[in-house]
Structure 1
Amino acid sequence: MARVAIVTGGTRGIGEAISVMLTGLGVTVAANYAGNTARAEEFTGRTGIRAFQWDVSDFDATQAGVAAVEAALGPVDIVVNNAGITRDGTLMKMSKASWNEVIDTNLGGCFTMAKAVFTGMKERGWGRIVNIGSVNGQAGQYGQVNYAAAKSGIHGFTKALAQEGARFGITVNAIAPGYIDTDMVAAVPGDVLAKIVQRIPVGRLGQANEIARGVAFLVAEDAGFVTGSTLSINGGQHMY
């Protein structure tokens, strides 16, 4: 029987690439999205992958959303916590709302999703959770104290939850992408983006499929000895 996966933020960008790749590997994928229904419908029409709407920062909505996925597709074996937003600004200019929104979605979403699936994974003795962090959570980034804090928190969350899940057959890992050619990066001013690319040793932006390949490795049936790890896919921009 095919494994069932939820990919949050799964209808566009990196999330879309992950949803499509896992589907190609025989996984039954539910692609979560927050609000862009037109994009989600276009995604489903093009890929055949079902899309489910809820806000991962909302605990009750996430519980209900995961329950809806399980009712439609079966128990969830794999979760890829990819949903993320930016509300950039220096600390002096950042509002409390901009701080809360990024922390609640990017980091809080990992918590709400894990809470919704962890018990079932434990009972079945198998699970894969992959959290999408960021190079900016490892190295920091000017004007992103909220985003960098949330993504850094994801890396710590991953290591702690991995220790809780290991004896139950649940692996928890993270991927820290560098700058990937997505709509989010496309919104960066051209002169700024050019300077960023100059700092990437391979000399280019990454592609969403390159992140999806990392996810495919971490959720594989035979990846059970990999847990608590962070896979950096950043073109050599940050090495540690």
Structure 2
Amino acid sequence: MLDGRFKPFYNNATITQANGDSGDSCQRVGTYLFLNWILGKKSATEYTHLTYALQSTRGRFRRSPDVNHWGSRPSNLSRDQLSVMRLALSAYGDKTFNITYWKQFLRLGFHQNFLRGTDDPNECWKIPDVMTPEELTCFIRHNRIWALYPLVFCLDLLLLLFLLYRDPKSWDADNMHAQKLYYSILFMNTPVANIAFGLYAKTNYLERIDNYYALENNGIPPMAQLYREADAKMREYVCSKYWYMRFFFRS
């Protein structure tokens, strides 16, 4: 592993929970790669190894590379898993990013999880997750479609709306939202994304991410540490690049 702190959580060619379960490995790998990319820690070899293991065919991801795990079926991959992985694909300039989107566009915007994400032997059918406005802006940002910048600007207002309706009991929401906010700042930046980050920094999101990845919650403690390092880098970045952001991060 590029980051040695994660070696105890590396099992079966992927990053797992503390107990070795790989049901959320697609999201964990995406988070690990994207946050390290923010910090300038990149390894093409590790990136290829980790992402290749999570694809059944190119652009068709799965939760787990373990063939004996229910998450190895691509039909169980949820939006929460793939949307985070896409941040890493985009950051590395991987052409697989667009492949995942075109596959979804051909499904009329639906994700691939038409089976319930459990180890239920009956493999119950379900309505797949649908594409969110946030996912649409991710596609626009990655491909630098500047003609749609006004649309991105307007949809970024949802980043502010998240603060109003932030669930005080949902740790996972902060785990996903923070890195998507970082991405919105780094790719086709809008003032709305910057301000949303400044306001978000006034909340306890880092503490909630700490709790989410705590060992007692079967989490990955070094991921919380990695988050704090990347977050500090993002604060430094916005303050140096956008003068008005210093008002949000006064010591």
TM-score range, shorter chain: 0.3 to 0.5
**TM superposition score normalised by structure 2:** 0.32
Q: Which has the higher contact order (CA 8 A, sep 6+)?
A: 1
Task: From the two aligned structures, give the one with the greater strand fraction.
Answer: 1
Between Structure 1 and Structure 2, which shows a larger proportion of helix residues? 2
